[in-house]
Amino acid sequence: MEEKQIIEQIERLKRHKNAVILAHNYERPEVVDIADVVGGSTTLTKAAAETSADMIIVCGVDFMAETVAVLNPDKKVIMPDRGAVCPMAQQIFEKDLQEAKEKYPDAEVLLYMNTHAKTKTLADCICTSGNALKIAELMDGGSPILFGPDRGLAYYVSNRTTKEIITIPEYGYCPVHHQIAIEDLKRAKEEHPGVKVVGHPECTPEVQDQMDYIGSTSGIVEYCRDAEEAEFLVAAEVGLMHVLKKEAPDKTFYPVSNTTVCTLMKMPTLLKIREALEREKQRVVVPEEIAIEARRPIERMLEYL
Ligand code: 13P
Ligand code: SF4
SS3 59: strand
Predicted local distance difference test score (pLDDT) of residue 75:
98
pLDDT for 181: 98
User: 240 in ligand 2 pocket by Cβ < 6 Å?
Assistant: no
Mean pLDDT within 132-141: 93
* pLDDT tens digits along 195-208: 999 999 999 999 99
Indicate whether 104 pLDDT > 80: yes
pLDDT for the residue numbered 244: 98
Amino acid at 184: D
Instruction: Give the CA count within 13 Å in the CB-facing half-sphere of 11.
Output: 8
- Report the mean per-residue pLDDT for the chain: 97
pLDDT of residue 288: 97
For ligand 2, say whether the CB of 128 is within 6 Å of any of its atoms.
no
Instruction: State the DSSP H helix or E strand holding residue 131, giving kind and residue range, or none if neither.
Output: none
Index of the ligand 2 atom closest to the CA of residue 264: 3
Q: Domains, the chain, ranges and CATH?
A: 3-84+265-287 (3.40.50.10800), 88-167 (3.40.50.10800), 177-255 (3.40.50.10800)
What is the CA(114)–ligand 2 centre distance, in A? 8
Residue 12 has pLDDT above 90, yes or no: yes
Instruction: Work out the pLDDT band at 143, boundaries 50, 70, 90.
Output: confident
Q: Could you tell me the distance, in angstroms and rounded to a whole number, from the CA of residue 264 to the centre of ligand 2?
A: 8
Residue partners of 76: CB distance under 8 A and separation at least 6: 54, 55, 56, 280, 283
Per residue in 16-46, pLDDT (tens digit) is 999 999 999 999 999 999 999 999 999 999 9
Residue of 202, 204, 208, 305 with the most ligand 1 atoms within 8 Å of its CB, for mutation: 202
Can you give the pLDDT at residue 1? 72
- Angle, vertex CA 140, rays to CA 139 and CA 144, nearest 5: 75
Q: What is the pLDDT of residue 142?
A: 74
pLDDT per residue over 214-249, tens digit each?
999 999 999 999 999 999 999 999 999 999 999 999
Tell me the average pLDDT across 244-270.
98
pLDDT tier at 88 (50, 70, 90 boundaries)?
Answer: very high
Residue 141's pLDDT is: 78
d(C-alpha 169, C-alpha 98), whole Å: 12
**Ligand 2, atom 1: nearest CA belongs to which residue?**
86
Give me the mean pLDDT over the 100-113 stretch: 96
H or E stretch covering 182: helix 182-191
- Segment 108-122 mean pLDDT: 98
Establish whether residue 262 lines the binding site of ligand 2, counting it when its CB lies within 6 angstroms of any ligand atom. yes
